[in-house]
Structures are given as C-alpha cells and as structure tokens.
C-alpha cells in the first residue's frame, strides 16, 4: 500500500498570504496524484488532477507541482473562502490512498 | 450538470446489513467507473471500493473485502454498496464518486450518506 504523508497537519494563515502544502508518497507514483478541498459539512471537491492539471471552475490561485514521490499544492493570495481541509490522493496503484489531510485556518 | 445522490444511510446494530444506493445524472453513467469513499467522524478520507464502467471488475479495500459488495445498474444509472457484517469501525459518511477517465481522479462526489453502527 502506498502511504501519502501530508505536511503540515494544520496551518493558520492570514488573507492574501501564500500557502504551500506538501504530500510525500512512500514510493514513486509518477504524476498520478490529485488534490481535493473539503469545506466543513461538504463533500470533497477536486482541485488539481495529475499533480499539476487545473480543473475547470477552480480559481487560478490554486496550483500543483511535483512528480515521483514529492508533490506540492500552492494557494496564492489566500482568501477567506479557502478555509477547508485539503487532501492528496494517489491513483497509481490499488488500494487508492489519501493523505491524512491538512486543515487550513484563515487568521 | 453532474449529480450524484446517495440514499440508504441508517443506524444499524453490529453484525447487521445495509444497502447504499447512488443515483447518477447529467453524464453518460455507463462509460465511467464509479467508487465509494468513506469518512469516519472527524477523520480523513478512506477509499472503500470501485467498479469499472461495464461492471466487469470490482476492487475493495482490505478492511471491507468479503463483507461489502459493489454493483451497478447501468440501465437505471445506479451504483450500490451492499454492506454485511457491519462493525462499529464502519461508522462513517459514505460518498459515491465518479472517476475521471480510466483510473483517474474522483472528479464528482455525492453529498454522502451517514451509516452508524452501534448497539
């Protein structure tokens, strides 16, 4: 089973600041890494697919990078509505696995 | 607009059974693989099971293999999860989701169905 480890677990950031969340895989997964946003009491929403591909309707301040074992989600110019939990997810091999999540708080 | 609507969530006793359903609309249901993901209260996301578009292959997490069965009815655009031998640790919100092409990400999710296993 591929283990995904996110850091940090929690981050408190002021509006307009830049946020970086990392996801490390226990073995190479190529680019088969995706990012989701989950706001309180809502279902997850796909933000970035295949490490860096943007999703229609997702604000351009969200971007992703990385390959192999190390990946990054970047949120530029944070807005109040970005308060949520963020999860990475791999579809390189079964079982599909998720990172433990990063909770983002807006100061 | 893609919509996925789960139903069937309930409170059951340990050892009991339950069937969850998920109705899809707004997309050609029969050409996309589908999946179930669960989230225990206050916890992260856990993949449970997936099924290919034509239902020729099914896949399960070790934690549910042998107890849960995924199926689909493409004529009625419905995905199902039959759950037997339920345990307290199966308590969670169960989300159905549509896969992007092939083994892609889960690009659309339902609102979830709460399953509570307690005596």
Confidence of residue A36 (pLDDT cuts 50, 70, 90): very high
Q: How far B15 CA lies from chain A's nearest CA (Å)?
A: 25
Confidence of residue B102 (pLDDT cuts 50, 70, 90): confident
Q: What percent of chain B has pLDDT over 70?
A: 100
Confidence of residue B94 (pLDDT cuts 50, 70, 90): very high
Tens of pLDDT, residue by residue over B2-22, are 999 999 999 999 999 999 999
| Predicted local confidence at residue B104, as pLDDT | 85
Phi and psi dihedrals of B108, rounded to 5?
-140, 140
| Predicted local confidence at residue B46, as pLDDT | 98
Compute the average pLDDT of residues A49-69.
97
Bridge partners of residue B29, in order along the sequence: none
| Predicted local confidence at residue A52, as pLDDT | 98
Residue B83, classified by CB atoms within 10 Å of its CB into exposed (0-12), middle (13-18) or buried (19+), is buried
Say which of A32, A44, A50 has its CB closest to residue B45: A44
CA dist B99 and A94 (Å) reads 14
Whether B111 has its CB under 8 Å from any CB of chain A: the answer is yes
The 3 state secondary structure assigned to B51-83 is ECCCCCCEEECCCCECCEEEEEECCCCEEEEEE
Confidence of residue B103 (pLDDT cuts 50, 70, 90): confident
Interface test with B, best of A21, A94, A96, A97 (most B CBs within 10 A): A96
Asked whether the predicted pLDDT for residue A89 surpasses 80, the reply is: yes
Contact between chains at A43 and B95 (C-beta distance less than 8 A): yes
By C-alpha distance, the chain B residue nearest A92 is: B103
CA dist B8 and B60 (Å) reads 20
Confidence of residue B61 (pLDDT cuts 50, 70, 90): very high
CA dist A71 and A88 (Å) reads 9
| Predicted local confidence at residue A22, as pLDDT | 98
Q: Which two tokens stand for residue B10?
A: 């309930």
Compute the average pLDDT of residues A14-27.
98
Asked whether the predicted pLDDT for residue B101 surpasses 90, the reply is: no
Asked whether the predicted pLDDT for residue B85 surpasses 90, the reply is: yes
Q: Which two tokens stand for residue A77?
A: 């110019």
Compute the average pLDDT of residues B95-103.
91
By C-alpha distance, the chain B residue nearest A41 is: B111
The 3 state secondary structure assigned to A27-47 is CCCCCCEEEEEECCCCCCEEE
Q: How open is the CA angle A3-B32-B93, to the nearest 5 degrees?
A: 55
Q: Which two tokens stand for residue B92?
A: 């969670």
Whether B110 has its CB under 8 Å from any CB of chain A: the answer is yes
């Amino acid at each position: 089973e591929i283990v995904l480890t996110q850091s940090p677990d929690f981050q408190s950031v002021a509006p307009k600041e830049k946020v970086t969340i990392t996801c490390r895989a226990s073995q190479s997964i190529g680019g088969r890494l995706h990012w989701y946003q989950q706001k309180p009491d809502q279902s997850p929403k796909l933000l970035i697919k295949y490490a860096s591909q943007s999703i229609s309707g997702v604000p351009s301040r969200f971007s992703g990078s990385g390959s192999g074992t190390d990946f990054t989600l970047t949120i530029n110019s944070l807005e109040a509505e970005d308060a949520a939990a963020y999860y990475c997810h791999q579809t390189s091999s079964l079982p599909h696995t998720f990172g433990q999540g990063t909770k983002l708080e807006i100061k | 607009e893609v919509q996925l609507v789960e139903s069937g969530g309930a409170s059951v006793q340990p050892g009991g059974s339950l069937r969850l359903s998920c109705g899809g609309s707004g997309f050609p249901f029969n050409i996309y693989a589908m999946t179930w993901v669960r989230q225990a209260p206050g916890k992260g996301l856990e993949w449970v099971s997936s099924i290919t578009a034509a239902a020729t292959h099914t896949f399960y997490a070790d934690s549910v293999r042998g107890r849960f069965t995924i199926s689909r009815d493409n004529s009625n655009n419905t995905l199902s999860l039959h759950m037997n031998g339920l345990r307290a640790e199966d308590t969670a919100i169960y989300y159905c989701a549509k896969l992007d092409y092939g083994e892609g990400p889960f690009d659309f999710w339902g609102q979830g169905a709460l399953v509570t296993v307690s005596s």
